[in-house]
Amino acid sequence: MPKQTFLSLPEDKQNTLIQSAKKEFSRVPLHEASIANIIKDAGIPRGSFYQYFEDKEDLYYYLLNQVAQENNKKLNSILQEKKGNLMDALADQFRYMISLRHDEEHKDFLRYAFLNMNHRKENTMANNIYKESLKNERSQTLEMVDTSYLNIEDKQELSHVIRIVGAITFHNLVQVFVHDLTDEEAIFNYDAQISLIKKGLQRKEVD
Amino acid sequence: MPKQTFLSLPEDKQNTLIQSAKKEFSRVPLHEASIANIIKDAGIPRGSFYQYFEDKEDLYYYLLNQVAQENNKKLNSILQEKKGNLMDALADQFRYMISLRHDEEHKDFLRYAFLNMNHRKENTMANNIYKESLKNERSQTLEMVDTSYLNIEDKQELSHVIRIVGAITFHNLVQVFVHDLTDEEAIFNYDAQISLIKKGLQRKEVD
DNA sequence: CTTGACATGTGACACGGTGTCACATATAAT
DNA sequence: ATTATATGTGACACCGTGTCACATGTCAAG
C-alpha cells in the first residue's frame, strides 16, 4: 500500500507519478522496471519516491489493483445482467478482458502482467489483498451467483467451482498473451473448455 | 541451455556447481538468488560461470527441467499403471507431487518454484521447452491416455481436457505452498475439484 | 620438443540499480 | 517567534551483473 504521504499529495502530482509508473511498467515487465526511470520521467527526487511507496512492487501492485477493481465492477455488472448465471457471465467477462488488449492505455501494461502472471498478480486481479472494502465486494459478487444453474450442493462446492473457473480463465488469458492469439482463437478455446467442464469430463457409462 | 563447455566438464565439477546452485535456489526465490553466492560456494571464478551458462535463469531452468523430467517419468508410469485412465492417474500424480514437499533435497527448491510459479516455470514443468526428446515423451504420454474414459469427441478436445486439468492441478499445487496446506487439506480440495469437473459444473435440467 | 591455434580459466572492472541518511525546507501549532 | 512535526532532496554506500583483456591449458602438425 502507498504510504499516507502519497495519498495526501495534490491529485495532479499523484497522477503524474502514476502516469510515469504506468509508462515504465508498460515498457518492460515488473522485474526489469527501474525506479530511476519512473522518477526521472515524473520529475521527482529519489528520496520522495521512498516517502510515497515502500518499493517498486508496492507501486506496481497499487496500479494493478486499480485495474483489478475496474474489472471487478465489470464482472458484477455482467453477473447482474446475466441474472446470476456464473458461467455465462464469465464467458462475457473473458471477452471483455481480451478486448482490453486493444485499449492503448492498458495494452502493454496488461501484456506484461499476463506474460509474467504469478500467484500474487493473480491474487491481486482476483482481489484478495487490498482493503476490507474489496472483501466485501468479493462476497457481494459471490452473493449474486444463482447457484441453481450449478451442479453443486453447498457453499463449499461453490468456492471450488470459483477456483476451477478462475484457474481456467487465467490460464487462457495467459495463453492469449504468450501465443498472441487472435480474439477468435482465444474465444474459441475458452468456450470449448468451459463447455467441456459444464457438461463434465467423464464419459457417462453407456450400457 | 547450458553451454557445451559445461557439459564437457568432468562430472564431479558439474555436480559441485549443481549442488551449490540448488542450495542457493533453495535459500531464496530465483529473482533473489545471486550468482555471487553460487560461485563462492562452488569455488569457481565468476568468468567461468558465464562460460558454462548464459545467466542465472539458464542455470535455474536447467535444474527445474531435471525435476520436471523425473516428474514426467513418474506420470508415465502411473498412467500405465492406471491403464490410461487420465483422471485417476492425475489424482495419484498430485499426491506424489505434494509428497515431494517432505523430501529434504527438493523441499525448498520446489517451495520457491511454486510460490513464484509463472508461465515459464509452469511450461517447463509441463515440459515444452527443452529438447526434442521431451516433445516425444510428451506425446508418448498423450498416446497412453485411454480416451474412452473421457467425454470427448476428438483429439482437439483431448488437448482442451489436458489444459483444463493442468490448470487446475497447478493452481492447487500453488495453493498448497502459499497456504501451507496439510497433505489432507490439499488432497481434499483437489479431489473435490476433480470430482466436480468430472461430473460437470452445470446442473442438468430436471423437468 | 616447439610452435601455433584454439578452448577454457580468471578476476578486476565498469555499469546500473537500490534504499538510506543527514540535511533542507515547509507547515502547523502554541 | 519559536518549536515541533511532516515532507522534500540528492549524494552516497552497497551490491549484483556481465564483460573483457589476459593467463593458462590442450593438442595436433612440423
Whether A20 and A39 share a structural domain: yes
Give me the number of domains chain B comprises.
2
Q: Are residues B151 and B50 part of one domain? A: no
**B108 residue type, one letter:** D
- For B178, the domain range is 64-199
Q: Which of B111, B115, B196 is the best substitution to test chain A (most A C-beta atoms within 10 A)?
A: B196
HSE, side-chain direction, 13 A CA sphere, residue A114: 23
pLDDT confidence of residue B207:
53
The pLDDT value recorded for residue A203 is 87
Q: What is the pLDDT of residue B63?
A: 97
CA distance A182 to A88: 21
Reported as a pLDDT band with limits 50, 70 and 90, residue A204 is confident
B16 domain residue, yes or no: yes
Q: What is the CA radius of gyration of chain B?
A: 19
Q: What is the mean pLDDT of residues B102-119?
A: 96
Query: Coil, strand or helix: which one is B112?
Result: helix
Question: A34: domain CATH number?
Answer: 1.10.10.60
Q: Nearest nucleotide, C1' to the C-alpha of B50? A: D18
A71 and A27 housed in the same domain? no
Contact yes or no for A117 and B116 at CB 8 A? no
Q: Given pLDDT bands bounded at 50, 70 and 90, which one contains residue A135?
A: low
Quote the minimal CA–CA distance from B11 to chain A in Å: 34
Model-wide pTM > 0.85: yes
Nucleotide nearest to A36 (CA to C1'): C17
* Closest residue by Cα to residue B175 from A122, A83, A58, A51: A122
Residue-level pLDDT at A129: 62
Helix axes A56-81, A107-115, angle to 10 degrees: 100
Q: Among B18, B35, B54, give the residue marking a domain's end.
A: B54
What confidence category does residue A148 fall into, taking pLDDT thresholds of 50, 70 and 90?
very high
Say whether pLDDT at B136 is over 70: no
Q: Across the A/B interface, how many CB contacts are shorter than 8 Å?
A: 116
Mean pLDDT, chain B, integer: 93
Q: How far is CA B17 from CA A156, A190, B53, B189, in A?
A: 47, 43, 11, 39
Those nucleotides of strand C lying less than 7 Å from any protein Cβ are 7-13, 16-22
Among A32-41, A107-116, A135-144, B8-17, which stretch is predicted with the lowest mean pLDDT? Answer: A135-144
Orientation of helix A11-27 relative to helix A56-81, angle to 10°: 90
**Contact present, B5 and B52 (Cβ < 8 Å):** yes
pLDDT tens digits, residue range B29-74? Answer: 999 999 999 999 999 999 999 999 999 999 999 999 999 999 999 9
Task: Using an 8 Å CB-CB cutoff, list chain A residues near B161.
Answer: 196, 201
pLDDT band at A133 (very low <50, low <70, confident <90, very high): low
The pLDDT of residue B132: 53
Query: What pLDDT, on a 0 to 100 scale, did the predictor assign at position B205?
Result: 66
Say how far apart CA A9 and CA A74 lie, in whole Å: 29
Query: What average pLDDT does range B162-172 have in this prediction?
Result: 97
Task: Tell whether B95 and B193 lie within a shared domain.
Answer: yes
- pLDDT for A104: 93
Gap from A34 CA to D15 C1', in Å?
16
CA(A182)–C1'(C16) in Å? 38
Burial of residue B119 (CB within 10 Å: 0-12, 13-18, 19+) is: middle
Same domain, B94 and B193: yes
| Same domain flag for A32 and A69 | no
Do A177 and A136 reside in the same domain of the chain? yes
- Indicate whether B206 belongs to any domain: no
> From the candidates A94, A125, A189, A197, which should be mutated to test the interface with B, based on the most B CB atoms within 10 A?
A197
Nearest CA among B65, B70, B75 for reference residue B141 = B75
The yes-or-no verdict on residue A207 having pLDDT over 90 is no
Instruction: Kindly state whether residues B11 and B102 are assigned to the same domain.
Output: no
